[in-house]
Structure 1
Amino acid sequence: MSSPTILVDGVHKEFRIPEEQVHTLKERVLHPVRRPSHHQFQALRDVSFDVGRGEFFGIVGRNGSGKSTLLKCMAGIYGVDQGRIFVDGRVSTFIELGVGFNVDLPARDNILINATMLGLSPRESRSRIDAVLDFAELHDFVDLKLKNYSSGMLVRLAFSVMIQVDADILLIDEVLAVGDAAFQQKCFDEFARLRRENRTVVLVTHDMGSVERFCDRAMLLERGRVAEIGEPQPVSMHYLQLNFSRDARDAEEAAANGGDGEPRAAAAPALRGRNAEELRAGDGSAEIVSGWFMNAEGEQVESLDAGLRCTFCMHVRFHADAEAPLFGFTLRNGADERVVSASTHKELAGESFKAGEEIIVYFGFENVLAPDRYGVSAVVAKSGSGAAWMDNRERFRSIVISAGDPSGAMVDLPFHMELQRQVTVEATP
């Protein structure tokens, strides 16, 4: 096996945080002998992992877990207190918005300065100005000082400079957090290009969709420690479960303390998967008891014929009152590609449910799916964005789609075809 491009071995990083800061000369004169007290903050604790050449590696974790600190250590911005970091290759970094920019200079000068700082020669930097401006779509603002740029314009410019550097390794921190939808799609296209060119990318993000879409592996940090390293989807689920389990604990503490002195029902415990393959997360205030498919005749089946209408059914039990919850399900094919997603984002906006109530939600659709075995996931979420899960069961069952004459495509859409022969009319002499 070839040696890794990045090797992080037993890294510790600690910060000394003052508990009382002296901000003025007057405070210093009035208290000349006072010694400021400090406390130690352990940002990283015995972090070890490696990244292979050409690998797209994701780093996820809640705010304050040490993600950005780790990336700065890898970039050489911070030194480490213990441990070692080896980086084999030329590095380009995108860590903080606008770092290295001089806001009193126009975009053209900042491109030259940043590209040179990242390792390009002055001649190479000048030759790539147009390419940077083309990607960032900032030709009309090239002579405008950066202090007059919006945050979106700054992130476009910084990212455009970074990808123009012929680096072997790219360290990227939350690049998609500021840009608009069009810029995000351009970033996705660049990520695909970097993968084709076998570049090594370390991506720090809170977007689990990007992790599952691009990353070969992912690592979860929690309070400065490595909580999990592995396939992107289980790591993403673990990350989300950490967020919601914290919410569940807070709810339990609030219920136990009860501000009005009246006893309250404790929040239901977080749910776990029923088998080794199933991934499950949520605060337990609702439970997806089961799910099944019905064919066009309303019969419960384990396989479906392509081209006919079918229905997915969810049996849900509520353990706490719920106001306008969201229900949804997803189908993934054998290649783990998301093929179908549906939710009641608008359909059940006014419905509310009581603790102890049980319901069945029906999703009917025309089955145009290609023959395959599909993994079924289902979710019940609190009103709003759909991310605050009450229960989320990933791949908790499967359904087989069969067809007599498969096309080989992801879906088999019904279509209408006509043939018209061209009639040749000879000119009359």
Structure 2
Amino acid sequence: MVIDHVSKTFRLPHVQYSTLKERVLHPFRSTTYDELHALNDVDLTIKQGEFFGIVGRNGSGKSTLLKCLAGIYKPNQGSIQLNGRLSPFIELGVGFNPDLTARDNIVINAVMMGLSRKEAAESFDKVIAFAELEEFIDLKLKNYSSGMAVRLGFATAIQVSADVLLVDEVLAVGDAAFQQKCFEEFNRLKAEGRTVVFVTHDMSAVERYCDRAMLIERGDVLKIGEPHAISRAYNELNFGRLVHETDETGRYGDQRACEVRDAWFENEQGERTGEIAQYDRLTMCAQIRFHEQVVDPVIGFSVRNDVGHTFFITTTEWQNVPMGTFEAGEDVIARVSVDAVMSPTKYTLTPSIARDGGADVLDVREDLAAVYVHGTRVTGGLVDLPHQFVLERRS
């Protein structure tokens, strides 16, 4: 696949007429446009059998590039040379008719991808089994949930014996079980030497599966190279700010007796950080101010990953930390240190304070701070616990 200095621009009108009356009243008013440069001089060669990752923030041009590769968009400048059969999984619902059943859509979509009607019919059972939609094959697609539609679309795409597979954010909608099936499918594709172009925000998947990766920002290619280096660059671009700038998602408690004023992560040097290497020492911190006397408060920390799974919870009550009495106007900074054995991704910190053994919640601030753990080696699972292999050979 050769992408030769490709650029793509969209025209965005300033004023749009939505009714016939408006057009009649303003017949000579010209429409002015802004230009959105979605891709700027993208120059890239992807080798046969390569698993290539494309990463970047929302609106950076990732999906536009994939649509150019799939022939949905025509570049304004440059050219794309693609050898072999292409199977795209680009956008939720693309290529499907919402008024047809899953049964009809599978066959039609497979034929559109180059299969004969016989081949499409033979692949039907495999698609349904992978998507786990046996009970819904005669349901119209417009009645499917987004997760069901993603499973159907990806299952259809991978059943085509294609030379090149384009995959856009397949891991963003599916549940954990479907994501695991996708990972198993990625392993199969790599083992078969298929060429895969993979767009994702999951840096652990990039480091685990990709041979090379590219970071794109506002249509410009910032870097192409080894997956770990691209993951680090994406991390610096996306999570380089201080953690206290992270958007808080919820707050509970009346905060009259005390409140959580701030929360952050620290590295081994005691510095605030939004990034840390896997296996380094990581400290969770929270600043609490008391507005009235509180006896034996319970301070807690909860850490969640980027898909909302709780990774770690601890409280002073569980750890039998002696607390005592805190007076009005007093500040306290609570710290908990752990080894960052979690898998590479973004994690958020929810600090809390309560009394009466945790029964009376005074203040909880969800996702108040964030840190990005970047990988230092290939891992899998939610955590990478310290371990060693021991082999005992017997004849």
Matches within 5 A, 1:404-423: 410-412=388-390
- 1:162 — aligned with what? 157
Matches within 5 A, 1:125-136: 125-136=120-131
- 2:326 — aligned with what? none
- 1:94 — aligned with what? 89
Counterpart of 2:8 (choices 3, 6, 13) is 13
* In structure 1, C-alpha distance between the alignment counterparts of 2:316 and 2:222, rounded to whole Å: 37
- Match of 1:77, as an amino acid? I
Shift of 1:244: 2.3
Counterpart of 2:267 (choices 288, 306, 310) is 288
Matches within 5 A, 1:365-380: none
- Match of 2:226, as an amino acid? E
* In structure 1, C-alpha distance between the alignment counterparts of 2:201 and 2:128, rounded to whole Å: 28
- 1:60 — aligned with what? 55
- 1:405 — aligned with what? none
Alpha carbons 2:206, 2:213 under 8 Å: kept? yes
Secondary structure class of the residue paired with 1:226 = strand
* In structure 1, C-alpha distance between the alignment counterparts of 2:313 and 2:207, rounded to whole Å: 27
Task: Say yes or no: does 1:150 pair with 2:145.
Answer: yes
- Compared with structure 1, are the counterparts of its residues 349 and 64 closer, same or farther at alpha carbon in structure 2 (3 Å cutoff)? farther
Alpha carbons 2:265, 2:370 under 8 Å: kept? no
Matches within 5 A, 1:188-203: 188-203=183-198
- Compared with structure 1, are the counterparts of its residues 321 and 360 closer, same or farther at alpha carbon in structure 2 (3 Å cutoff)? closer
Secondary structure class of the residue paired with 2:2 = strand
Secondary structure class of the residue paired with 1:27 = helix
Alpha carbons 1:90, 1:168 under 8 Å: kept? yes
Alpha carbons 1:106, 1:144 under 8 Å: kept? yes
Matches within 5 A, 1:109-128: 109-128=104-123
- Match of 1:219, as an amino acid? M
- Compared with structure 1, are the counterparts of its residues 28 and 179 closer, same or farther at alpha carbon in structure 2 (3 Å cutoff)? same
- 1:340 — aligned with what? none
Shift of 1:348: 5.1
- 2:312 — aligned with what? 345
* In structure 1, C-alpha distance between the alignment counterparts of 2:265 and 2:228, rounded to whole Å: 23
* In structure 1, C-alpha distance between the alignment counterparts of 2:101 and 2:311, rounded to whole Å: 48
Shift of 1:250: 11
* In structure 1, C-alpha distance between the alignment counterparts of 2:346 and 2:8, rounded to whole Å: 38
Shift of 1:361: 2.8
Shift of 1:218: 0.9
- 1:388 — aligned with what? 370
* In structure 2, C-alpha distance between the alignment counterparts of 1:377 and 1:96, rounded to whole Å: 26
Alpha carbons 1:11, 1:47 under 8 Å: kept? yes
- Match of 2:221, as an amino acid? V
Task: Say yes or no: does 1:174 pair with 2:169.
Answer: yes
- Match of 2:42, as an amino acid? V
1:247-279 deviations in Å (ceiling 9; x for gaps):
45996xxxxxxxxxxxxxxxxxxxxxxxxxxxx
Looking at both structures, which has the greater relative contact order when contacts are Cα pairs under 8 Å and sequence separation is at least 6? 2
- 1:258 — aligned with what? none
* In structure 1, C-alpha distance between the alignment counterparts of 2:163 and 2:85, rounded to whole Å: 5
- 2:250 — aligned with what? none
- Compared with structure 1, are the counterparts of its residues 215 and 348 closer, same or farther at alpha carbon in structure 2 (3 Å cutoff)? farther
Alpha carbons 1:325, 1:381 under 8 Å: kept? no
TM-score by length of 2: 0.69
Matches within 5 A, 1:42-81: 42-81=37-76
- Match of 1:186, as an amino acid? K
Alpha carbons 1:290, 1:315 under 8 Å: kept? no
- 1:401 — aligned with what? none
- Compared with structure 1, are the counterparts of its residues 113 and 248 closer, same or farther at alpha carbon in structure 2 (3 Å cutoff)? same
- Compared with structure 1, are the counterparts of its residues 325 and 15 closer, same or farther at alpha carbon in structure 2 (3 Å cutoff)? farther
Alpha carbons 2:213, 2:224 under 8 Å: kept? yes
1:7-40 deviations in Å (ceiling 9; x for gaps):
1121111110011111111111111111111100
Shift of 1:171: 0.4
Alpha carbons 1:288, 1:317 under 8 Å: kept? no
Task: Say yes or no: does 1:184 pair with 2:179.
Answer: yes
1:355-381 deviations in Å (ceiling 9; x for gaps):
9979683669xxxxxxxxx9x999996
1:200-219 deviations in Å (ceiling 9; x for gaps):
00000111121112111111
Secondary structure class of the residue paired with 2:314 = coil
TM-score by length of 1: 0.64
1:258-317 deviations in Å (ceiling 9; x for gaps):
xxxxxxxxxxxxxxxxxxxxxxxxxx96542449xxxxxxxxxxxxxxxxxxxx994869
Structure 2's unaligned 5+ residue stretches are: 246-262, 271-278, 289-298, 305-309, 322-329, 351-365, 377-386
- Compared with structure 1, are the counterparts of its residues 166 and 204 closer, same or farther at alpha carbon in structure 2 (3 Å cutoff)? same
- 2:218 — aligned with what? 223
Alpha carbons 1:288, 1:380 under 8 Å: kept? no
Alpha carbons 1:325, 1:349 under 8 Å: kept? no
* In structure 2, C-alpha distance between the alignment counterparts of 1:379 and 1:106, rounded to whole Å: 38
- 2:233 — aligned with what? 238
Greater Cα offset, 354-363 or 165-174: 354-363
- Match of 1:118, as an amino acid? M
Alpha carbons 1:325, 1:380 under 8 Å: kept? no
Task: Say yes or no: does 1:207 pair with 2:202.
Answer: yes
